[in-house]
Amino acid sequence: MQRIAQKIKSKKTVIGIIGLGYVGLPVVIRFAEEGFKVLGFDIDLKKVKNINMGKSYIKHIQGNSFKSLVKEKQIEATNDFKKIKNVDAVIICVPTPLNEMREPDLQYVEETAKAVAQNLRKGHIICLESTTYPGTTDEILLPLFEKSRLKVGRDFFLVYSPEREDPGNTEFTTKTIPKIVGGITPACRKVGKILYEQIIEKVVEVSSTRTAELTKLLENIYRCVNIALVNEMKILADKMDINIWEVIDASATKPFGFSPFYPGPGLGGHCIPIDPFYLSWKAREYDFTTRFIELAGEINTSMPSYVINKVMEALNTKEQSLKGAKILVLGIAYKKDIDDDRESPSLKIIDMLKQKGAEVSYNDPFIPKLKKYRKYDFNLSSKKITKTLLKNTDLVLIATNHSEYDYGWLAENANLIVDTRNAVKKKKKYIGKIFAA
């Protein structure tokens, strides 16, 4: 182990990152910035080609420094997984979605683990970063790797260290967000800690991979439950004719015992809408029902329906039905100022609007065209917002509060607005025109 630790500290360890998306690419860049040679793996040839040309395909990752790292041969990408044997550390950052039954779909983790197992050699460090249920690392990865007859903690080192990426967050970066590390053995944990200490300011050790796996789920379920709470409070406050945003801001002045969470049209992103179902599924193995978590999931999942009802109420004030109405949805990304549309509630809202006969268009400055999704295929492109477009649109639905939008100008020129993000200020100025949702 000392030899491996010394190799890491001297930056002679070659790093392999499998999965070059919102989680994997920032890790690639951090290791390269610290002087490590990094080989990125992905089945998406478009991503591989872009990386090898020094082109970033993620909005919040700047291209200049990234391009120089590629030019200096610090970063290279490939779709040839046999090259795993050429790297010393393998970090797995692949998706962990849900299947149609809303159960964990670990096909990407399993296929990646098989590729690693086929190329496993002495001295390899393997770390899973993908969000998953407690037991994945020791129940799925470890048995595959042990078939090689190599001994974990001696011949190879297996670690779980959950990703904590927050796309678009300028206050915290990959370097400054503390990293949780759990290992199959104490030696695995120690090696994992040394590896991540090269790129992360603070590394926090936990006793096992299962502890690390559950830590990640708790973080996101905490957010899910609190968002569900404010979403439910929003519906009640609306019935009471009270501004929930004002209530939250007032509550946030308390210096202890309260952390502000904000309502919206539903949950988006890869983690928060999905992680609770991973834990709920695993809990059934222990004859335990996560009632509180499942209730939060139900509330958040129901929010697009609430938004549709508010759209219909707004149109009713003009004696107009939703069927045949021209609706412009502002924002496809699941949160402001990013280009990430994974699990975005906007997609569900568009689908529901179309099912009810509305004529739907959208604008998002960061998502020029809607791709074919697992559930949806809208074949829509972003429309430029003009006075003419607004004049010919019956209702504008603000689903994502991107900073690029001029909300005052929108309020002046739109016929009707349903605002799910409290983006338009001075709503009293536009009574009868702007509706909160």
Residue 141 burial by Cβ neighbours in a 10 Å radius (0-12, 13-18, 19+): buried
Look at residue 355 and tell me whether its pLDDT is greater than 80: yes
Beta strands in 67-211 (DSSP E): 75-78, 89-92, 125-128, 157-160, 179-183, 203-205
* C-alpha neighbours within 13 Å on the C-beta side of residue 303: 30
59 or 7, which is more confident?
Answer: 7
CATH of the domain at 154: 3.40.50.720
- The neighbouring-strand residues paired with 160 are 128, 182
My answer on whether 192 and 297 are in the same domain is no
As for how many domains the chain has, the answer is 2
Q: In whole angstroms, what is the distance from residue 180 CA to residue 175 CA?
A: 13
Judge if 141 and 236 occupy the same domain. no
Q: Which two tokens stand for residue 298?
A: 């139900």
Residue 213 resides in a domain: no
Do 179 and 265 fall into the same domain? no
Residue count (the chain): 437
Report yes or no on 215 lying in a domain: no
Final residue belonging to a domain, choices 164, 182, 207: 207
pLDDT in the model for residue 147: 93
d(C-alpha 301, C-alpha 85), whole Å: 43
Main-chain dihedrals φ then ψ at residue 65, nearest 5 degrees = -65, -35
Mean pLDDT of 330-350: 95
224: annotated active-site residue: no
- φ, ψ for residue 78 (rounded to 5)? -155, 160
Identify each DSSP E strand in 287-336 by its residue range.
326-330
Give 369's DSSP letter: B
Q: What is the pLDDT of residue 61?
A: 82
CB 276 within 8 A of CB 296: yes
pLDDT of residue 397: 98
Residues 6 or more apart whose CB falls under 8 angstroms from that of 47 comprise: 20, 21, 57, 77
* Position 218 in a domain: no
**Same domain membership, residue 233 and residue 276:** yes
Chain mean position to CA 347: 15
| Any domain includes 212 | no
Residues 188, 48 share a domain: yes
> In this predicted structure, what is the pLDDT of residue 119?
97
Please name the residues in contact with 298: beta carbons below 8 A apart, sequence gap of 6 or more.
none
Query: How many Cβ atoms are within 10 Å of 106's Cβ, its own excluded?
Result: 21
Report pLDDT for 63: 66
- The token duo for 241 is 């004719």
Residue 86 has pLDDT above 90, yes or no: yes
- Could you tell me the pLDDT band of residue 335, with boundaries at 50, 70 and 90? very high
Instruction: Let me know if residue 67 belongs to a domain.
Output: yes
Check if the beta carbon of residue 230 is closer than 8 Å to that of residue 422: no
Total-model pTM: 0.92
Asked if the structure places residue 219 within a domain, the reply is no
Give the number of other Cβ atoms within 10 Å of residue 53's Cβ: 10
pLDDT attached to residue 160: 98
Q: Output the six-digit token pair for 27.
A: 């890790």
pLDDT band for 62, please (50, 70, 90 cuts): confident
Q: What percent of the chain has pLDDT over 90?
A: 87
DSSP structural state of residue 20:
-
User: pLDDT for 128-180, tens place per residue?
Assistant: 999 999 999 999 999 999 999 999 999 999 999 999 988 878 889 999 999 99
Q: In this structure, is residue 216 part of a structural domain?
A: no
Query: For the segment 267-308, what is each residue's pLDDT rounded down to a tens digit?
Result: 888 778 888 889 999 999 999 999 999 999 899 999 999 999
Average pLDDT of every residue of the chain: 95
In which domain, by residue range, is 150 found?
A: 2-207
Cα distance between residue 148 and residue 226, in whole Å? 45
Contacts of 165 (CB under 8 A, 6+ apart): 22, 23, 26, 174, 177
- The predicted model gives 15-41 an average pLDDT of 96
The answer on 175 and 235 residing in a single domain is: no
Is it the case that residue 65 has pLDDT exceeding 80?
no
Same-domain status, 263 and 142 = no
Token pair in block for residue 179: 């990293």
> Which residues 6+ apart lie within 8 Å of 246 measured at CB?
none
Q: Are 167 and 247 found together in one domain?
A: no
For residue 5, pLDDT over 70 is answered with yes
CA distance 313 to 432: 11
Does residue 143 sit in the same domain as residue 258? no
pLDDT digits (tens, 9 = 90+) for 391-429: 999 999 999 999 999 999 999 999 999 999 999 988 778
264 and 364 part of one domain = yes
